[in-house]
Amino acid sequence: MHSFDYENGSLHCEGVDIASIAKQFGTPTYVYSKATLSDHYTRLDQAMAPVDHMVCYAVKANSNLAVINTLAKLGSGFDIVSAGELFRVIKAGGDPRRCTFAGVGKTVDELRYALENDIYSINVESLAELETINQVAGDMGKVAPVALRVNPNVDAKTHKYISTGKSENKFGIDFSRIEAAYADAAERLPNVKLHGLQMHIGSQLTSVDPFIEAVKKVAPLAAKLKETYGIEFFSIGGGVGIVYHETLPSGHPDWWTNDSPSASPLTIDRYAAAILPELKNLGLRILLEPGRLIAGNAGALVTKVLYTKKGDAKTFQIVDSGMGDLIRPALYEGHHDIVPVAEPTTDEKETIDVVGPICETGDFFVQNADLPKLEQGNLIALLSAGAYGFTMASNYNSRPLPAEVMVDGEQVHLIRKRQTLDDLIAGESLLP
């Protein structure tokens, strides 16, 4: 299900014309569909119904308060990676007791904040971190609920920057060392409770095979830890990929595919059907930590063509948004379908680069692409931008961050104001 489509010659998000959003709020602007967010969460939650489970939305994918609040109202848990993300969850009406805290570099202050708010579990990434958690909890007179993150050494076959489950990655404790770590914690660390076991092998996976391999490898370990230490849950991470290609016009058979236009889709139902047989008999609560899967195709970045520049080698369409607003193409060659907001009336295409205003050669959204003919002043939308878009944005080149809006049926809500120039220097000061 998705909510971006052409109606009456113009791209709409749900019941709202995106051209009207650009007119009201300017460009660049992120546009999110509440219906799509809700649908994706609900579909995953229902697919996992055969087992006791909790879907913990990965806040790093899109941390806007309105996005978090939408999911909290549906009963979502949350996967956080900083005290700031926990703060956002609380301010958005989420329950900290349904939060898991991941990340390899948690500070003492962050751990203290998490324990003060009675979060569900802390995912432990190293033995040194486990020692620190025990000390912090002891100083507070608390017992910290923890789940050690095991690195199963499974190749997710995704981009090297978002692979997390191999021995050479910085995440988790080696599979060969994990049982000894639980035994040591049970014997020596009185201020931690061995609450669960966690794994995560990578992001934007489009084949179910790595998930099956990882679950089959780790599930027997989870069963053993339950019997020995009484752990209560097994977190299998997130990572299911989404469509980035051919998202318009409507009629695409399934939106759940990946950055590669030739890859077959991995649907929520296929994913659940493949892993549930390995999980049903564990007698453990199953946690999932998806972010992109829920938010990715719920958003688009709307931008305007400033100039057309024709050279001997290239034709450039220069837009008013850049890598500071959406860094995926520059960072790891991520693809986003680019569509005109005004529906093309002919099949005429031109081979162009769509580039931004930032002073970097890497500031592009697409290169050598055959796209509908564009002219100065045209609006375009970069689709599938709801995850790892605004959350990775920066003020590079001292450019204000874009606005964010949420569409709910025929209503449009401003959920983040566009930054002003004064906002850029807030908190800075001159030398005396």
Catalytic residue among 13, 56, 99, 359: 359
- Both tokens assigned to 229: 């230490």
360 annotated ligand binder: yes
Exposed e or buried b per residue across 84-117, where buried means at least 16 C-beta atoms within 10 angstroms of its C-beta: ebbebbeebebbbebbbbbbeebeeebbbbbbeb
What number of other Cβ atoms are within 10 A of residue 184's Cβ?
Answer: 14
Name residues whose C-beta falls within 8 Å of residue 218's C-beta, 6 or more positions apart in sequence.
Answer: 150, 152, 175, 197, 199, 234, 236
Q: Is 388 annotated as a binding residue?
A: yes
Please check if 418 is assigned to a binding site.
no
Distance separating alpha carbons of residues 49 and 178, to the nearest angstrom: 29
* Angle formed by the axes of helices 34-47 and 268-279, nearest 10°: 30
Q: Rounded CA gap, 343 and 85, in Å?
A: 38
333 marked as binding residue = no
- For residue 134, give the 3-state DSSP assignment: helix
Six token digits for residue 87: 């703060």
| Known catalytic membership, residue 359 | yes
9 is in an annotated binding site: no
Instruction: Report whether the peptide linkage leading into residue 344 is cis, meaning its omega lies within 30 degrees of zero.
Output: no
The answer on whether 161 is annotated among ligand-binding residues is no
Buried b (16+ CB within 10 A) or exposed e, 361-378: eebbbbeebebbebeeeb
Is 322 annotated as belonging to a binding site?
Answer: no
290 appears as a binding residue in the annotation: yes
Burial class (CB in 10 A: 0-12, 13-18, 19+), 346: exposed
Nearest C-alpha neighbor of 302 from the set 407, 151, 163: 407
Tell me: is residue 270 an annotated ligand-binding position: no
Known binding-site positions: 239, 289-292, 328, 332, 360, 388
Known binding-site positions for substrate: 292, 328, 332, 360, 388
Indicate which residues carry an active-site annotation: 359
Known binding-site positions for pyridoxal 5'-phosphate: 239, 289-292, 388
